[in-house]
């Protein structure tokens, strides 16, 4: 099987985004009306078509990351939006249980303790069969106002993640800071930042079973692996493999062959999960290859790693990291 652990429902019907716009403007838009046929239509021409044409089997599907927008509204409104977004993901996955597996967003807000998000995580996992979550390390949307992911501030979420045996993908939302383009800078910054936070802390001593997936190929981390190894050494920290690689994983949302090759060279295959983030940040075709940039399956297949390692990346690691996922 080929399991894509990172997909977003970016193609939801326009009425969803209209509803959100009104909600964020302070209106009370009333119940959202989207039919099952509208959901089918929104997926058939996009995520499902791409799954079929690329030959992937299942995608872990989350709400669109850029519209989590934790920084835009107060906590109670954010919670309402999050529940609605997660409910919609649940509907998509119920219509196509073989193709999509639900992963939730959380109702985070800048300055609001993460323990307030635990209820929604519990609801999604226990009541609706979600297998993981997206955790925003910067609910302020580019201003980084809350404590690092390694602070006890976040522990109530981690306690629940361990209890439920679900991993978190570290995933920011849109950027309200004009210095940081959302998908080109803010996302990659956050991936790199989270890794460095983990490196400097003993978080995984407190939570040996806690698991994070750092998306977008781990930001700058694989490329700068030597820097991180050296920093850990200078700080008298244990080697990275021992310190982090029982708990931290990277996805393959890297959109060119040399990037994937580098990642496969420096990160052990046990720590890499196949992903494309479709339909996501980069939607075009690479004129150098004639293929979609985000058709990442091609890069893995074209790499020189063994068939056994490819199997780990395409399927085996996802089964270990997301044990609540059971193929149907």
Q: Which of 27, 163, 277, 315 is catalytic?
A: 277
**Between 92 and 240, CB nearer to Zn ion:** 92
**Cβ atoms 43, 61 nearer than 8 A:** no
**Between 172 and 232, CB nearer to Zn ion:** 172
| The one segment of 65-73, 121-129, 219-227, 232-240 that binds Zn ion by CB under 5 A | 65-73
| The one segment of 19-27, 60-68, 243-251, 297-305 that binds Zn ion by CB under 5 A | 60-68
* DSSP type of residue 133: E
Q: Per rule CB under 5 A, is residue 92 in the interface with Zn ion?
A: no
**Cβ atoms 139, 146 nearer than 8 A:** yes
Radius of gyration of the chain (CA): 19
Among 4, 120, 138, 277, indicate the residue that binds Zn ion (CB under 5 A): 277
Number of residues that bind Zn ion (CB under 5 A): 2
Fill in the per-residue mask, 303 to 322: x = in contact with Zn ion (CB under 5 A), - = not in contact: --------------------
Return the structure tokens found at 218: 């781990």
DSSP letter for each residue of 275-292: ----SSS--SEETTTTEE
Q: Give CA–CA dist 251/101, Å, rounded.
A: 17
**Nearest-approach distance from CB 46 to Zn ion, in angstroms:** 15
Fill in the per-residue mask, 186 to 215: x = in contact with Zn ion (CB under 5 A), - = not in contact: ------------------------------
Q: Give CA–CA dist 165/209, Å, rounded.
A: 8
| The one segment of 59-67, 139-147, 194-202, 304-312 that binds Zn ion by CB under 5 A | 59-67
Q: Per rule CB under 5 A, is residue 4 in the interface with Zn ion?
A: no
**Nearest-approach distance from CB 277 to Zn ion, in angstroms:** 5
| The one segment of 94-102, 144-152, 199-207, 275-283 that binds Zn ion by CB under 5 A | 275-283
The conformational region for residue 262 under phi > 0 = left, psi -120 to 50 = alpha, else beta, is alpha
Whole-Å CA distances, 208 to 185, 246, 328: 31, 8, 30
CB atoms closer than 10 angstroms to residue 131: 24
Q: Per rule CB under 5 A, is residue 65 in the interface with Zn ion?
A: yes
**Nearest-approach distance from CB 206 to Zn ion, in angstroms:** 27
Q: Is 315 a catalytic residue?
A: no
Burial category of 143 from C-beta neighbours within 10 Å (exposed 0-12, middle 13-18, buried 19 and up): middle
**Between 67 and 140, CB nearer to Zn ion:** 67
Of the candidates 263, 246, 266, the one whose C-alpha atom is nearest the C-alpha of residue 254 is: 263
**Nearest-approach distance from CB 280 to Zn ion, in angstroms:** 6
Handedness of CA 189, 194, 195, 199 (dihedral sign): positive
| The one segment of 52-60, 74-82, 270-278, 283-291 that binds Zn ion by CB under 5 A | 270-278
Q: Per rule CB under 5 A, is residue 138 in the interface with Zn ion?
A: no
Helical H runs in the chain?
14-24, 36-44, 47-54, 75-95, 118-122, 128, 155-164, 187-199, 203-206, 225-234, 240-244, 257-266, 296-302, 307-311, 317-321
**Nearest-approach distance from CB 263 to Zn ion, in angstroms:** 17
**Between 174 and 271, CB nearer to Zn ion:** 174
How are beta strands 132-135 and 168-170 bridged, if at all? parallel
**Nearest-approach distance from CB 66 to Zn ion, in angstroms:** 9
Active-site residues, by number, are: 277
> Which residues in this chain contact Zn ion in the complex, by CB under 5 A?
65, 277
């Amino acid at each position: 099987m080929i399991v894509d652990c990172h997909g977003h429902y970016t193609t939801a019907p326009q009425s969803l985004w209209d509803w959100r716009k009104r909600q964020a403007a302070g209106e009370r838009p009333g119940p959202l009306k989207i039919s099952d046929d509208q959901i089918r239509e929104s997926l058939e021409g996009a995520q499902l078509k791409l799954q079929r044409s690329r030959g992937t089997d299942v995608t872990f599907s989350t709400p669109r990351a850029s519209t989590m927008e934790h920084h835009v509204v107060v906590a109670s409104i954010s919670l309402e939006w999050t529940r609605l977004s997660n409910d919609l993901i649940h509907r998509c996955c119920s219509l196509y249980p073989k193709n999509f597996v639900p992963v939730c967003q959380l109702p985070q807000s800048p300055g609001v303790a993460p323990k307030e998000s635990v209820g929604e995580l519990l609801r999604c996992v226990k009541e609706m069969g979600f297998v993981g979550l997206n955790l925003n390390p910067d609910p302020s949307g580019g201003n980084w106002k809350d404590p690092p992911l390694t602070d006890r501030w976040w522990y109530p979420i981690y306690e629940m993640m361990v209890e439920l045996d679900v991993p978190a993908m570290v995933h920011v939302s849109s950027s309200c800071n004009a210095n940081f383009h959302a998908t080109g800078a803010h996302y990659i910054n956050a991936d790199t930042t989270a890794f460095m936070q983990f490196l400097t802390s003993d978080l995984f001593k407190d939570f040996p079973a806690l698991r994070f997936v750092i998306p977008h190929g781990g930001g700058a981390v694989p490329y700068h692996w030597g820097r991180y190894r050296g920093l850990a050494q200078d700080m008298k920290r244990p080697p990275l493999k021992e310190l982090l690689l029982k708990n931290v994983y990277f996805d393959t949302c890297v959109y060119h062959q040399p990037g994937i090759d580098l990642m496969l060279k420096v990160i052990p295959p046990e720590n890499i999960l196949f992903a494309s983030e479709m339909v996501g940040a980069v939607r075009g075709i690479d004129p150098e290859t004639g293929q979609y940039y985000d058709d990442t399956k091609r890069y893995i297949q074209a790499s020189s790693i063994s068939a056994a390692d490819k199997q780990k990346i395409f399927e085996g690691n996802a089964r270990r990291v997301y044990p609540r996922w059971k193929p149907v």
